[in-house]
Amino acid sequence: MNTPSSDSRTPHGQIPQRYSGRIRGLDLTRGLAIIGMIWAHVKPYTTDEGLAYVLSEIPSGRSSALFALLAGVSIAILTGRNVPYAGDQMRHAQLRIVGRALVLLVFGSFLGVFSSPIAIILDYYAVWFLLSLPLVYWSARKLAISAIIVALVGPQLIIGFTWLTDTFELWGDGFLTNTLVYGMYPGLAYMALVLAGMALGRLDLTQPLLRMQLLIIGVALAVLSYGTAWVATSTFASEADMWDSAYEGAGYPIVAFNFFTAAPHSNTTPEVLGNLGVGLAILGACLWLAPLAKHILFPIAAVGSMSLTAYVGHAFFLHFKPDWFFGDSVAPFLWVAGGVLVFCTIWALLPVRRGPLEWVTWRFSQWFARPSLRSSVSSGGTALRSASIHDQPLPHKPAHTP
């Protein structure tokens, strides 16, 4: 049931409605992102470039992009959903976001201690959270426009910075430079996805029309972006030009291929927009399939409801199974994904509200934001309540869902 918000009013004086309740379609989407990441980490290695190879590469790069899109949705939900908080409520929500970012940095550092081919995303995730703090007051329209601008400009800045540091032998190794420019998930590219997710979270995700729009827009954007990349790299933006330039020792090559490829983790405009399109389509489909999260798709929704636990758990486990990387069997994926599904399903059936690491994150973020809560209460305000996709249990009984 939607509840009215007293944070703001329409020009006609009507109180807008803030949608409420856990959105199980988001759990499904997040669960698919985790399973896709597991596949990308331990999928069978093959040199065949046929249809099987193309299909096996679908989760590569797109799972992390889907994670970034959902990070934006989470930020919007934490800060008021489709009716943004104001005043003390917003400050409290922002402090909770900072607290969550700090926890993610700790978990990311923990996983970084253990050798693994996995490029840990948690540090980047934390930086995205912090970069979003000044933008939580923006409307869905402003966030969407900003997402498009970042998608068009950010990848070009990455290429420019990389060329500068390579050409003039500048030192570019550092936490901020890696998370913003040079790393696997650079903020200059991935913030486009985060901003797009924030824009979505500012809309009413319970509306059926929105699901259809996400599907149509997502498919169209993916076809346009990947199609453009394919045409370009098949004609004037050949990959051979890049290798020829590199072979000539000209430093980081500034060739058309670097701007138009949509290869996984290339962080170009076509890849970012294509991944965004795939993410929108998957999210739209999962919102439609949300009723199935109560039974048939419950295991996947359970994984999504405790995605931090699933991510950290599988990454930590794979440290002890180095031979499972770059193998020729699908067995490692079945073992890891199956183990994650079983654990999360059993945990979700227990009388607990959150996953193990989700509980730690929630407790710390609440503690970190408590000074703002005390300040509000001492000044005559009421206790603040911040909404979060991780702050409510995965429903076991019928509840409000999109």
pTM for the full predicted model: 0.89
Res 393: pLDDT:
37
**Degrees, nearest 5: CA angle 91-390-114:** 100
pLDDT, tens digit, for every residue of 158-196?
Answer: 999 998 888 887 776 788 899 999 999 999 999 999 999
Mean per-residue pLDDT, 107-135: 95
Q: Are 104 and 67 in contact (CB under 8 A)?
A: no
**Per DSSP, which regions of 199-355 are E strands?**
none
Q: Using pLDDT thresholds of 50, 70 and 90, give the confidence band for residue 1.
A: very low
Res 138: pLDDT:
97
Average pLDDT, the chain: 87
Percentage above 70 pLDDT, the chain: 86
Q: Using pLDDT thresholds of 50, 70 and 90, give the confidence band for residue 14.
A: low
Tokens of 360: 């730690």
Which residue has 């590569």 as its token pair?
Answer: 60
Long-range contacts of 92-96 (CB under 8 A, 24+ apart): 92/369, 92/372, 92/373, 92/376, 92/384, 92/386, 93/136, 93/369, 93/386, 94/133, 94/136, 95/365, 95/368, 95/369, 95/371, 95/372, 96/365, 96/366, 96/368, 96/369, 96/386, 96/388
Q: Are 207 and 244 in contact (CB under 8 A)?
A: no
**Minimum mean pLDDT range among 160-164, 201-205, 210-214, 394-398:** 394-398
Mean per-residue pLDDT, 222-239: 95
Res 49: pLDDT:
72
pLDDT, tens digit, for every residue of 15-63?
Answer: 568 888 889 999 999 999 999 999 999 999 877 777 777 888 899 999 9
What one-letter code names the amino acid at 222?
A
Does the structure show a pLDDT above 50 at 388? no
Length of the chain, in residues: 402
